[in-house]
Amino acid sequence: MPDFGLSEEQRSLQELARKFARTEMAPRAAECDRLGRFPEEVMRKAWELGLMNLNIPTEYGGSGLGLVDQCVIVEELAHACAGMTTSVIANCLALEPILLGGTPEQKQSVLTPFCSSYHLASFCLTEPGGGSDAGALQTRATRDGDHYVLDGEKCFITNGPHASLYTVFATTDPELRHKSICAFYLPRDTEGVTVGREEEKMGHRASSTSTVRFEKARIPVANRLGAEGDGFSIAMRTLDQTRTPIGALATGIAQAALDHASAYALKRHTFGKPISEHQAIQIKLANMAQDVHASRLLTWNAAWEIDHGRKGTLESSIAKCFASDAAMRVADEAIQVFGGYGYMKEYPVEKLLRDAKLAQIYEGSNEIQRIVIARELLRRYA
Partner 1 sequence: MEIVVAVKPVPEAETRLRPDASHASLDPEGVKFVLAGYDESAVEQALLLKESTVGSRVRVLSFGPAPRTEEVLRAAVALGCDSATWVEHPSDLLPDAVLSARCIATAIAGPFSGLVLCGRQSGDEEGGIFAGALGALLKVPSLGYATNLRWKEPRGQLTLQRSIEGGLEEVESSLPLVVGLQQAWNDPRTAKLPNILKSRKAAIEKIPWEATVATLGPHAIPGTVRRTFRLPPPRTGAKMIRYDSPQDAAAQLVRLLREEAKVFP
Ligand X SMILES: Cc1cc2nc3c(=O)[nH]c(=O)nc-3n(C[C@H](O)[C@H](O)[C@H](O)COP(=O)(O)OP(=O)(O)OC[C@H]3O[C@@H](n4cnc5c(N)ncnc54)[C@H](O)[C@@H]3O)c2cc1C
The distance of closest approach from Cβ of residue 41 to ligand X in the complex, given in angstroms and rounded to an integer, is: 21
The distance of closest approach from Cβ of residue 70 to partner 1 in the complex, given in angstroms and rounded to an integer, is: 11
* Options 2, 4, 12, 176; binder of partner 1; rule CB under 8 A: 12
Residue 248 and residue 304 in contact, taking contact as beta carbons nearer than 8 Å: no
Toward partner 1, which CB reaches closer, 3 or 9?
Answer: 9
The distance of closest approach from Cβ of residue 83 to ligand X in the complex, given in angstroms and rounded to an integer, is: 9
Residue 105 is a catalytic residue: no
* Options 6, 26, 30, 49; binder of partner 1; rule CB under 8 A: 49
Residue 195 and residue 160 in contact, taking contact as beta carbons nearer than 8 Å: yes
Is 8 among the residues that bind partner 1 (CB under 8 A)?
yes
**Cβ atoms within 10 A of the Cβ of 303, count?**
27
Is 9 among the residues that bind partner 1 (CB under 8 A)?
yes
Q: How far apart are CA 72 and CA 263, in angstroms?
A: 23
20 binds, among ligand X, partner 1, none (CB under 5 to 8 A by kind): partner 1
Cα 250 to chain centroid distance, Å, stands at 10
Q: How far apart are CA 294 and CA 292, in angstroms?
A: 6
Cross-strand bridge partners of residue 154: 212
Residue 199's closest CA among 38, 60, 350, 356? 38
Residue 312 and residue 240 in contact, taking contact as beta carbons nearer than 8 Å: yes
The distance of closest approach from Cβ of residue 305 to partner 1 in the complex, given in angstroms and rounded to an integer, is: 23
The dihedral through the CA atoms of 184, 189, 192, 196 has a sign that is: positive
Is 88 among the residues that bind partner 1 (CB under 8 A)?
no
**Catalytically annotated residue among 153, 363, 367, 376:** 363
What are the residues binding ligand X (CB under 6 A)? Answer: 122-126, 130-132, 156-158, 201, 204, 209, 358, 361-363, 365, 367-368, 371
Residue 9's closest CA among 80, 68, 55, 88? 68
Q: Which stretch binds partner 1 (CB under 8 A): 31-39, 44-52, 105-113, 176-184?
A: 44-52
Q: Using CB under 8 A as the criterion, which residues of the chain lie in contact with partner 1 when the complex forms?
A: 8-9, 12-13, 16, 19-20, 48-51, 58, 63
Catalytic (active-site) positions: 363
